[in-house]
Amino acid sequence: FLKTSSLLIAGLVLAACGKQEAAAPAASAAAPSAPPPAAAAKVYVVGTDAAYAPFESQNEKGEIVGFDIDVVSAVAKKAGIEVKFVNTPWEGIFNNLAQGDRDLLVSAITITDERKQTMDFSAPYFDAQQLIAVKADSKIAKFDDLKKLKVGVQTGTTGDEVVSKLIGKTSTAVKRFESTPLALKELESGGVDAVVADNGVVIHYVANNTGAQFKTVADASFTPEQYGLAVKKGNAELLEKINKGLADIKADGTYDKIYTQYFGAAPAAAVK
Ligand code: ARG
């Protein structure tokens, strides 16, 4: 009896093993619906010169924050893509894009015909204009008054372009700085008589640095500018995703919400 039962047990064990073996291929045959582990989602690297509050700056924790960051994060969410922001000096930023070190740029970048030759822009997402910052007691009342003075700009910006046109590209009276805050510091210490930069940044700086005693001077000769997100020339695939996401956040109120959060009022109709 013992012999018989042990044989029976052995037989049962063998049968169970056989069953398991047979079951294994069936289980793996059901697996193909799961994503292959190698296909990790692409993380798009976004370059930004984070010294341009309120558009992009670094907070106390070193995190990159601002209007541009919130806009791109919202766009990415709609587009179903993952993004990572990397602080990138303005002076090399367009090269970084051309060389593929960055997939996308958000940096309060004005869409210009010249830049369009070397990169592709999204639909515009912000209206801007140049604005002059001077000391509160300055007699400067219009852009033309800067002709014979020392003027600070951030190198290679649209502010640099207009001032170079007024004073002369090679004139030593045009003082070029690596960042806009550095130019404004120089105005505070008296090294330059004025700074010309984007209105949003100048207004933000003057309001948040009351000790500097600045005022702003507007001038009707400054032409309207619009910011765009930039991709490498020919990267139609990413540009399409970005434009779709941008259209979505403009349509569903997300854009307005972000805008109001930073600028206190609803945006002008032009960018919508
Ligand atoms: N809008 C200006 C331009 O495109 C200045 C942009 C500077 N942006 C920055 N993050 N520093 O030339």
One-letter identity of residue 208 = N
Q: Tell me if 202 CB under 6 Å of ligand 1.
A: no
Q: Tell me if 88 CB under 6 Å of ligand 1.
A: no
Query: How confident is the prediction along the chain (272 residues), in pLDDT tens digits per residue?
Result: 444 455 444 444 444 444 444 444 444 444 556 555 666 789 999 999 999 999 999 999 999 999 999 999 999 999 999 999 999 999 999 999 999 999 999 999 999 999 999 999 999 999 999 999 999 999 999 999 999 999 999 999 999 999 999 999 999 999 999 999 999 999 999 999 999 999 999 999 999 999 999 999 999 999 999 999 999 999 999 999 999 999 999 999 999 999 999 999 877 765 65
pLDDT of amino acid 267 = 79
d(CA 81, CA 184) in angstroms, rounded, equals 37
Q: Tell me if 90 CB under 6 Å of ligand 1.
A: yes
pLDDT of amino acid 272 = 57
pLDDT of amino acid 33 = 60
Mapping DSSP onto H, E and C, the string for 12-73 reads: HHHHHHHHHHHHHHHHHHHHHHCCCCCCCCCEEEEEECCEECCCEEECCCCCEECHHHHHHH
pLDDT of amino acid 18 = 41
pLDDT of amino acid 271 = 66
pLDDT of amino acid 186 = 98
Contact 267, 249 (CB under 8 A): no
Distance of CA 207 to the CA centre of its chain: 23
d(CA 132, CA 159) in angstroms, rounded, equals 9
Instruction: Choose which residue among 131, 154, 203, 227 to substitute to test ligand 1 binding: the one with the highest number of ligand atoms within 8 A of its C-beta.
Output: 154
Q: Tell me if 126 CB under 6 Å of ligand 1.
A: no
Tell me, in angstroms, the distance from the centre of ligand 1 to residue 77's CA: 25
d(CA 77, CA 242) in angstroms, rounded, equals 10
Q: Tell me if 68 CB under 6 Å of ligand 1.
A: no
Given phi > 0 = left and psi -120 to 50 = alpha, else beta, which region is 178?
A: alpha
Tell me, in angstroms, the distance from the centre of ligand 1 to residue 118's CA: 16
Tell me, in angstroms, the distance from the centre of ligand 1 to residue 14's CA: 74
Q: Tell me if 226 CB under 6 Å of ligand 1.
A: no
Neighbour count for residue 5 (Cβ, 10 Å) = 9
One-letter identity of residue 172 = T
Instruction: Output the six-digit token pair for 213.
Output: 């005693």
Contact 134, 183 (CB under 8 A): no
Residue identified by tokens 């893509």 is 81
Residue 211: DSSP 8-state: G
Strand-pair category, 174-177 with 151-154? parallel
In ligand 1, the atom with minimum distance to the C-alpha of 55 is 10
pLDDT of amino acid 263 = 94
Instruction: Output the six-digit token pair for 131.
Output: 């604005």
pLDDT of amino acid 238 = 98
Q: How many helices (H) and strands (E) does the chain have?
A: 9, 15
In ligand 1, the atom with minimum distance to the C-alpha of 161 is 12
Angle at 227 between CA 235 and CA 260, to 5 degrees: 120
pTM over 0.90: no
ipTM above 0.95, yes or no: yes
